[in-house]
Every structure is written in C-alpha cells, then in structure tokens.
Amino acid sequence: MRLRDYMIPELVLVDVPGSDREAVLDAMAQALCKAIPNLDCKTVWDGLIEREKKIATGLERGVAVPHTTLVGLEKTLLLVARLDQPVDFEALDGKPVDLIFMLLSPPECIATHIRLLARVARLCSAGGLLDAMREAKDEEALFRVVEEEDGRHV
C-alpha cells in the first residue's frame, strides 16, 4: 500500500490558511470540493468536525491526521497540506500543527482507511519526512517529498 495511490496533485496544498482547526478543515474541505465537485463541502466539513469532537487528530511533531468516511465518495483520498501558520489540533505532545494528512474514505473501505492511517503514522515517525515537507517550495515539491519518502518504506 502506497500513499501515492490515494493522492492527487490537486489535493497537495501549501500555505493553507486558517487561524484555528475549524478554519483549516474548512479550507481543506473547500479545496477537496473544488477538485471533486460532486462532493458536498458541508458534509465533508461536518464529518471531519464530528471526528475531531470524538477525539482530536493531532499526533506529535506538528502533524495532524483528520479523517472521516463519506457516503458517495468513490475512492479513498489522501490530502496533504502544509499550513501557513501552526494551529492547535490538541496534539498528543501539546504542540501546534503545521502539517496535515487528511484521509477520506467511502464507508465500505474502512480496512484501507485504517491501514493508511497506520502508514501515515509510521512515515511521520521515520527519518526526515517532516523536515523535508516543511522545506518544500511548492505543491509539486511537497507531492514529490511524500511520494519519495513513501517509496523508501515497505
């Protein structure tokens, strides 16, 4: 399983605006709905916020992994983003988040969803992925950084 198989270039974002978690999730939902017009932005946002209310998705080292399942989504998608400023995602280490891996799956693809969450967590704990993501100059470079690091791991 490779992250690349679930990423599309239009959903790799740099300098995502937002002064809080809700604003960041809204900006990312808007980008998703622009790339995939048949999705309803409010439904996407509501699913992400509902998940955040159950338990925050902030991990450690400036990373959050907001995720939800969406009826009507045709395949699992992974959005990757670097924020324009760190935001509180109630991370496990108490630090603000500036890198986001947002995972969206159809309800019938929950096994894939869980495996991808685990893969993201493993990749974020290994080597220099996060530093390289922070240094990427644009969306294309950010896409390549994630793709290359993902390709180095089994």
Instruction: Collect all residues with Cβ–Cβ distance below 8 Å to 110 and sequence separation of at least 6.
Output: 69
pTM for this entry? 0.94
The yes-or-no answer on residue 67 being catalytic is yes
Predicted pLDDT at 15: 96
Blockwise average pLDDT, block size 10, the chain, 154 residues:
92 95 94 90 92 91 94 92 96 95 95 93 86 96 94 79
Instruction: List Cβ neighbours of 39 (8 Å cut-off, separation of 6 or more).
Output: 32, 33, 70, 72, 73
Query: What is the amino acid identity at position 77?
Result: L
Domain ranges of the chain: 3-152
Question: Which of these is catalytic: 67, 82, 113, 119?
Answer: 67
Domain 3-152 has CATH 3.40.50.2020: no
The maximal CA–CA distance of the chain, rounded, in angstroms, is 38
Residues 6+ apart with CB under 8 A from 119: 1, 3, 150
Query: CB 115: neighbour CB atoms within 10 A?
Result: 13
Per-residue pLDDT, 127:
67
Radius of gyration of the chain, Cα coordinates, nearest whole angstrom: 14
Strand partners, 87: 97
- Cα separation, 53 vs 72, in Å, equals 23
